[in-house]
Amino acid sequence: MKKRPLCSAIAMASTLMIASANLHADAAKSGKQHEEHKSTIEEVIVSASPLDKSHSDNTRPAAILSGDELRRQAASTLGDTLKGQLGVASASFGPGVGTPVIRGQQGNRVKVMQDNLDTLDAANSSSDHANAVEALLAERIEVLRGPQTLRYGSGAIGGVINIIDNRIPSTVPNEINGTIETRYSSVNEESATVFKLEGGSGNLAWHLDGLYRSSDDVEIPGFADIHGDEHPEDTTNGFIENSDSESKNLTAGLSWVGDDGSFIGFSVSRLDNEYGIPAGAHAHEEEEDHHDEDEHDHEEDHENEHEDEHEEDEHGHGEAPVRIDMEQTRYDIKGQFLAPITGIEKMTLRMGYVDYQHKELEGVEVGTVFDSEAFEGRIELVHDRYMDGKARGAFGLQFLDKDFQAVGAEAFIPGSDTQSVGVFLVEEWDLDSWLIEAGARLERTEVDAQGHNSVDFNTHSLSLAGQYRFSDQQQLNIVLSRAQRAPSVEELFSDGVHVATQSYELGDANLDEETSQNIELGYKYHVPMGSDYVEIDLGVFYNDISDFIYRDNTGGIREEQPLFQYRQQGAEFSGVEAKVTLPVYRNNGNSWDIQLFADSVRADLDSGEDVPRITPRRLGLQFDYHGAIAGNAFDAKLRYTHVAEQDKPGRNEEATDSYKRLDASMNYRVESGMGEWTVFLRGDNLLDEEIRNASSFLREIAPEPGRGVTIGARYAF
């Protein structure tokens, strides 16, 4: 197929860089008249909005993970990092993969972004593909729950995860600063080292960061396979075989920053990630349905015989360990220009080009190779305020060109070229007690797959949101939205055995767009109590989705593998999220807080069946302590979570038992003349519970890690 994304990226980058330089020269002339206005611009907290909305003024449910809290929660996968947030879970495929689930929706419905631009990896094409991002390198992670299609397109129909990393600096530091961190985790003997350096001079700013992480097989309580007690010879006891991993990441960025705050910058990043797929994925399903009892009486030479069968099997359906070898090089351009033309307050541009390769290794042999070249760009313009400054808005253009190839005997997805272009408009009115936001987006997507007729989709999204402010401490939010999503290439055209998931995946070229009708109510109450406050955060949502696309476990067998087929019918999602924080004790700089939290989501298909892999109800209690030891800052957290059983797992899916999870963490900070040292300790699953994650595709053969301790140190200067 044609390799157009790179050429498009170079051409557009050159054009916009030249245009940006001219725009900045014009902006510099009028920079003085914007100084007074700049001083009143609200601090940017939620960057996933073109209007620079603060957290409290955001009409949609959002969570911000940054600072010590992010360092405390950061894990080897994005899903594991965020699974403690309200409404967020992790869809694991063994320890090497943990993709975020928002309100029961995942994959192509949750958009993962690198600083407001799609990661452009292949994570959504299959459940065994990891996100090409590193939480340990993030400065802040924003989670927006519910449809966010207006700004980011149909892939954000369920929510957005935005990783902010400052790889393209927007300001020039006064002096060189940086951090270096090392940590060790006992549950899989994981060691990780991270560094970041930033500096600059004059109008130039630069950024460097890097990561190296390696781990061994993860330890678990009991057998890996849920049927291990019956057939212990078919599984491992106390660990998950082939779950080790190794990852390396290096990034460099450079920016030119103007005196008026405008900037333009470029970065390049290289990621190498290798991880194993737990042995026996879905194999037990075949054994239960098709193996006679005497087939479970393994002889000593069974393993060698099985390896011989693998060599003779032209499809590679043997038991050789499957590993993923991922390589990605990413190039980014980011710019912001104040008052570039009359009537425009600010223009922002983002462009990214990704060269991605993903090899599925079957033993020492290369099975399938996934190649992707993708280019995405976005231009946003915030227009001048009107109605005496009470109204503002933004409009923009977004475009994508993705060239995808799958090569090999097990290439179950055809090569394809996906192109999309979208335009959007967002307007906001601040009317005393009411904050009103309305928006619309039009998007066209065309998928041209090898061996198939080209298909195209026109999606339309509308949203109306309001915040009623009873006072500065109390707000009521309501969001009404209609969002559409175009089917992806794997949902449309998959047809073949996927060795990594040990399944036969079958798409449907006749799928229509999904249409989501969503209503959401949120209530926030911050009650002052002296110098402290009680915080109440409640939310309920209802989402009626027409033509919902899901991966159905049909119960059938094709080419000796379980058959999973993409189907479509109506579905309803509903749920509740709640968090209450109470101050308990204050004395001489020591403080105790208690937090109660809960979330629940229910999802049904119109046929009366359950949507598969939905997170069950969660209820928890958390204690937070802040104080000092020997004059140095110290904080600690103890978190208890009860997760209900999932007895509505979906057709031909295994139910999961309830479990209790106890986690704890501590941070101790010591300031020195040159910087600050932080020593941290974290304990995960301290009760050593056997946890079968209902959102996981491999919950029956790969439980969550057992009891583990992470210890580390960080130096910032």
For 122-131, 187-196, 697-706, which range has the lowest pLDDT when averaged over its residues? 122-131
In 588-675, the DSSP E strands lie at 590-605, 618-629, 632-643, 659-671
What pLDDT, on the 0 to 100 scale, is given for residue 659?
97
Question: Which superfamily is assigned to 4-716 in CATH?
Answer: TonB-dependent receptor, beta-barrel domain (2.40.170.20)
Q: Are 86 and 74 in contact (CB under 8 A)?
A: no
Residue 605 has pLDDT above 90, yes or no: yes
Residue at 650: amino acid letter: G
What pLDDT, on the 0 to 100 scale, is given for residue 9?
40
Query: pLDDT tier at 322 (50, 70, 90 boundaries)?
Result: confident
For 162-166, 281-285, 390-394, 621-625, which range has the lowest pLDDT when averaged over its residues? 281-285
Q: Which residues pair with 664 in a beta bridge?
A: 638, 683
Residue 683 has pLDDT above 50, yes or no: yes
pLDDT average, residue stretch 550-558: 91
* Count of alpha carbons within 13 angstroms of residue 235, beta-carbon side: 25
Residue 447 has pLDDT above 50, yes or no: yes
Per-residue pLDDT of 298-314, as tens digits, reads: 333 434 443 443 344 43
What pLDDT, on the 0 to 100 scale, is given for residue 118?
93
Taking alpha carbons only, the member of 384, 544, 519 closest to residue 464 is 519
What pLDDT, on the 0 to 100 scale, is given for residue 45?
54
Per-residue pLDDT of 450-486, as tens digits, reads: 999 999 999 999 999 999 999 888 999 999 999 999 9
Q: What percent of the chain has pLDDT over 70?
A: 86
Domain residue limits, the chain: 4-716
Residue 119: DSSP 8-state? -
Residue 177 has pLDDT above 90, yes or no: yes
- pTM equals 0.85
As a whole number, the mean pLDDT across the chain is 86
Burial class from Cβ neighbours inside 10 Å (0-12, 13-18, 19+) for residue 630 reads exposed
Query: pLDDT tier at 146 (50, 70, 90 boundaries)?
Result: confident
Report the distance separating Cα 202 and Cα 117, nearest Å: 28
Strands 503-506 and 561-587 turn out to be: parallel
For 149-158, 424-433, 539-548, 565-574, which range has the lowest pLDDT when averaged over its residues? 149-158
Per-residue pLDDT of 48-88, as tens digits, reads: 677 776 666 777 888 889 888 898 899 989 999 999 999 99
Helix (H, G, I), strand (E, B) or coil at 429: strand
Q: What are 228-235's contacts with CB under 8 Å, separation 24+?
A: 231/287, 231/296, 233/296, 233/298, 234/280, 234/284, 234/287, 234/296, 234/298, 235/280, 235/701
Per-residue pLDDT of 224-249, as tens digits, reads: 998 888 888 889 999 999 999 999 99
What pLDDT, on the 0 to 100 scale, is given for residue 5?
40
Query: pLDDT tier at 402 (50, 70, 90 boundaries)?
Result: very high
What pLDDT, on the 0 to 100 scale, is given for residue 55?
67
Residue 307: DSSP 8-state? H
Per-residue pLDDT of 181-232, as tens digits, reads: 999 999 999 999 999 999 999 999 999 999 999 999 999 999 999 888 888 8
Taking alpha carbons only, the member of 197, 199, 170 closest to residue 181 is 197
Residue 37 has pLDDT above 90, yes or no: no
Q: Are 106 and 91 in contact (CB under 8 A)?
A: yes
pLDDT average, residue stretch 3-27: 41
What pLDDT, on the 0 to 100 scale, is given for residue 229?
84
Taking alpha carbons only, the member of 556, 33, 469, 484 closest to residue 260 is 33
